[in-house]
Structure 1
């Protein structure tokens, strides 16, 4: 065989094996979501329990249980991406969707905080959180960045004067720049 026929044989072999040529399919590249840094802070004058959960994808609704034992549905929670914060005055329990996984529950004395990552979150993860005393829910909320961005930061701060919620979002795969959305 001549060098030219060796080259033609090699090209024919590669084409038949699907390793080259116009029919080769590029390997898709996806950027995995970054870890989510969660901070829970008690800036109040009493001890409170702060807890958080994660769930893959959006959360359409949750159920509140009132001091009278009645239930009410709060819906349209993730119709748009962002931070949603609620301060009910008559709620004893919030029922999350069954798929929610509790990541942490902390009883925090005044002036203390905890923080840590949610490692390897699923794309489109929503964080749910709750601030409570023994008998009452003081605040609860949800945080997400929608289907095209990744949640990177959730910062929940509680005091008797009010609650604060900050979130960070980062674009995935589109070369987007990180941005922040906050709710108070």
Structure 2
């Protein structure tokens, strides 16, 4: 029986670079087709609602914006037991559960993934309400997708490159919150600057 794999993007697309994880999992979905034993999920800011998904996974790959204290747009990959140290990142409200608590709850309930990988990106701006990803973070999304692909291949997951990216109606995010629609509607210029 194939190992159950969860590819999870977490973050809030309404807070600038905090949306990196969601945008990365969205880009991964557009680029690669995956076997049935792999679940691709926009976890957004669902907090403890993600516990059941994590408990069901044998292997877990997470995309997230993490403040490592590095240059903006820098990717850092963290594995296995090191992952919880980096997932207690800034919460946007008192009601939002950090992913560290999700991992702790899964562990407490006795179902914890045996392999974890965190593809984290150093944000530049987490305070830009309604704003887009900043240019360095936007530029890191494609590299994050490549890193995730390599990790999944290492785990034995067959990622098939799509002949063409998925059309908008088949995208992971719909209703104009997909990356391209959201930023073009909001007015991001060619160089990534924000226009109202």
Q: TM-score, normalised by structure 1?
A: 0.29
Greater helix content? 2
Greater strand content? 1
- Larger Cα Rg: Structure 1 or Structure 2? 1
Q: TM-score, normalised by structure 2?
A: 0.28
